[in-house]
Structure 1
Amino acid sequence: MELLAQSFHMNKAVEGTSYAKNSSIQSKIISITKCITEEAILEVLCKNLPESMGIADLGCSSGPNVLSVISKITNIIYAKCSQSGLPKPPELRIFLNDLYNNDFNGIFGSLPDFYNQMKEVNGNSFGPCFIFGVPASFYGRLFPSNSLHFVHSSSSLHWLSQVPPELDVKASTAINKGHIYICESSPQNVLDSYYRQFQKDFSLFLKSRAEEIVPGGRMVLTFMGRRFMDPTIEEGCYNQLELLAQALMSVAAEGLIPEEKVDTFNTPYYAPCPEEIKLEVEKEGSFVMNRLEVFEIDWDGGSAEASNTVSMGRRVAKLVRAVIEPMLESQFGSDIMDYLFQRYEKILDNHLSKTRSKYINLVISVAKNSEGLGN
C-alpha cells in the first residue's frame, strides 16, 4: 500500500501529458453533479448554520478542477447566506486531500488568484476562508472527530487502496495473464478478489468519514462504475484498461518489454454497480442514502477539439495517460511510454471507429444519521 501511495498520482506539469491539461472528463463529471452538490450543501445550511464549517474535497488531485470545485461549493454557501440576510457567513475550513505525491504546490500557487476571484464574485458576503492541504490516503482517518460538515469526492473512489493481494503475485502464478483488470475471460477468483478489495476499502472509507462528519453532515461521491451486477459484461470490463492491456501485449510481442511484467501488472481499480455501493452503505450503517444516480459520458468527454485535427483515439489516449502513466512507469520504465501510448492511440482509433463508447458514472448523496447538525 505504501508503494502504491508513492507511485499513484496524476501526471504532473509535463508539457502535453499533464493531468492539469487533460482532465476534461473529470471537469464534466463535476459539472453534471453540481446540482446534487448544491442540494446537499443547502440541506446542511438549512438544518443549522454553523459558525465554523468544515469542508473536505477528497482525492482532489491537481490542476484547474481543484479550485473550480471549491469555488462552486463556497459560492453556494455565500449565496445562501446573502439570500437569508445573515450578517456574516460561517468561517470556512476547506481541506484538500490526496496522496503524498500529489502536486499540492501547484494548487497553493493558484490560491492568491482564487481568493481575489472569490472576493470579486461575492463582495461583502466573502468571509474567512482557510484552505489546507491534507496529504494521505482517504482509506483511513484524516480529520478530528465531528469536524466536517460536507465532504466531496469526485472520480476518485473507483481507485482502490492497493491491487488485490491475490493478484500481486509472481508471473509463474499470475491468474489474470495478459490483462490488467477484469475482462470477459477472467476467472472467478479475479472477480472475487477485486470485489473483496472494494468492499474492504469502501467500508473503511465510510467508517472513517462517519467519525469525522458531524451528525447530519453530507457527502457527495462520484465513481466510475457500471449499471449491472455482472462485471464481465462489455460496459463493465471492455473499457480503456482492456484496450491498454492489448497495447501492452503488442509492445511485449515486439520484445520491448517482458511479457511477464504485463502478466503481473494489475490496476488498483474497481468500477462498482449501484447495488454494491448500496450494500456497503447499509452495512456500515452511519449514513442514509438520499440519492443514487447513473449517467453516461463519452470517452473523450465530448471534446470540442476538431476531429480532423486530433483523432478521438488520441484525445482518449491523452486523458488516460494523464491518470495512469505514473503507475505504468513504475512497472515498465519511462523510456517506453511514448511508444506505448502511440500503439494505444491506434487501438483506440480502431475501437472508436466501430462504436461510441461511454463511461458509466455513479453519484451518491448521503447524510450522516442524526436529528440535527452540530457546530
Structure 2
Amino acid sequence: MAAGVPGSFHGRLFPKASMNLMHSSFAVQWLTRVPQEVTKEVSPAWNKGRITYARSESSKVEEAYAAQFARDMKAFLTARSAELADDGLLAILMPCRPEPSLPSESTLMNILECLGDALADMVKEGLLSEAAVDSFNLPIYVPSASEVEGVILLGTKNKNLGCSIERLEEMRFPAKLSSTEEVRVSCFHARAAMEDNLCKHFGSDLNVDELFKRYSDKLEEFSKSPRFARIKNLANLNVLVKRN
C-alpha cells in the first residue's frame, strides 16, 4: 500500500510506531534551506558567483553545507525512527560521492555548477543582475558514505535515534556525458529538478529556455575537461536502517 501525505519529509508525517517499512528515494540530498552563511556578504562563507559548493573559493562554504546536511539528516532520521514500529526498516537511496573524495570533487555537484557558469555568462551579457545570481544557491549537498554513517552512529550513541545500520553500500558508475545525446538527457534531468527553484528566485527576468541551452553547452565543455576526467564517477548510496 502506498500513501501520499502533506508536509516536509524532514519532520513527522505518520503516527508513532505505525510503519513497518519505509522507503526514501533521492530526497535527503535536498536541504531544508540554503545555509545562511553562504548568502551573507559579510560572512567568510559567502558564496559569491557560485550556486553550489563545488568550486567555491572558501572551504567555509563546504563546511556550511556539510553542517546543514548533518542537521537535516538527523531531523529526518529522528522523525522516521519515531514512526517505525519495533524492528521496522527504513530503506534510503540517495546520491553520494565516492570515498575518499572531497566535497568539491562531487561529480554531480560539478555538473550542477555548470548551471552557475551559464548564469554567470548571462550576467556578463546584461541578461541577469549580478546581485540576483550572487544570492542564488542550490539547497543540495552530496555526502560521502562515511558522513551518512557518522550521523546515524552519533545519533545512536547519544540515544537520539532508536535505530541501527543494517546495510550501507556505495554503488559507483560513470557519468554519461560522452555524447551530445547524453548531455541533452542530463540537461533535461537538471531542468526537471531545478526549474522551479530558478523561476521562484529570478522570476520573469530569467529566460529559462535560453539558460538551459547555455547549460547544455557548458556541460559539453565540462565533459571534455581535465577536471571531469579526474572525477567522472557518480555514486549512489543504499542505506538500510532498523528500528531497535
Change (3 A) 1:220 1:299: same
Give the number of the structure whose alpha-carbon radius of gyration is greater. 1
The runs of 5 or more residues in structure 2 that have no matched partner are 157-161
What is aligned with 2:239?
A: 364
What is aligned with 2:93?
A: 222
What is aligned with 2:190?
A: 320
3-state SS of the aligned residue for 1:208?
A: helix
Q: 1:49-86 deviations in whole A, cap 9, x for unaligned?
A: xxxxxxxxxxxxxxxxxxxxxxxxxxxxxxxxxxxxxx
> Is the 1:182–1:231 Cα contact (8 Å) retained in structure 2?
no
> Is the 2:21–2:89 Cα contact (8 Å) retained in structure 1?
yes
Q: TM-score, normalised by structure 1?
A: 0.58
Whole-Å separation in 2 of the counterparts to 1:363 and 1:183:
23
1:122-137 matches, cutoff 5 A: 133-137=4-8
Change (3 A) 1:189 1:180: same
Whole-Å separation in 2 of the counterparts to 1:274 and 1:364:
9
What is aligned with 1:15?
A: none
1:66-145 matches, cutoff 5 A: 92=1, 94-95=2-3, 133-145=4-16
- 1:245 partner letter: G
Q: 1:200-252 deviations in whole A, cap 9, x for unaligned?
A: 10001111111100010001101111123553443367622211111110111
> Is the 2:46–2:61 Cα contact (8 Å) retained in structure 1?
yes
Whole-Å separation in 1 of the counterparts to 2:192 and 2:108:
20
Whole-Å separation in 1 of the counterparts to 2:141 and 2:23:
19
Deviates more, 1:291-300 or 1:350-359: 350-359
- 1:189 partner letter: K
Q: 1:249-301 deviations in whole A, cap 9, x for unaligned?
A: 01111110011111111111110111111111112222211111111344459
What is aligned with 1:231?
A: 102
1:40-51 matches, cutoff 5 A: none
Whole-Å separation in 2 of the counterparts to 1:332 and 1:358:
32
- 1:315 partner letter: V
Whole-Å separation in 2 of the counterparts to 1:154 and 1:177:
31
Q: Count matched residues.
A: 233
Q: Which has the higher contact order (CA 8 A, sep 6+)?
A: 2
Change (3 A) 1:299 1:153: same
> Is the 1:183–1:237 Cα contact (8 Å) retained in structure 2?
no
CA-based RMSD of the aligned residues comes to 2.3
Cα distance, 1:196 vs. partner?
1.2
Change (3 A) 1:301 1:365: farther
Deviation >4 Å, runs of 4+: 171-174
Q: 1:306-348 deviations in whole A, cap 9, x for unaligned?
A: x5xx532222111100101100111122541000100010111
- 1:250 partner letter: D
- 1:361 partner letter: N
> Is the 2:39–2:46 Cα contact (8 Å) retained in structure 1?
no
3-state SS of the aligned residue for 1:359?
A: strand
Percentage identity across paired residues of the two chains: 33
What is aligned with 1:281?
A: 152
Which of 146, 151, 156 is residue 22 of structure 2 equivalent to?
151
Whole-Å separation in 2 of the counterparts to 1:246 and 1:272:
23
What is aligned with 2:170?
A: 294
Q: Does 1:332 align with 2:202?
A: yes
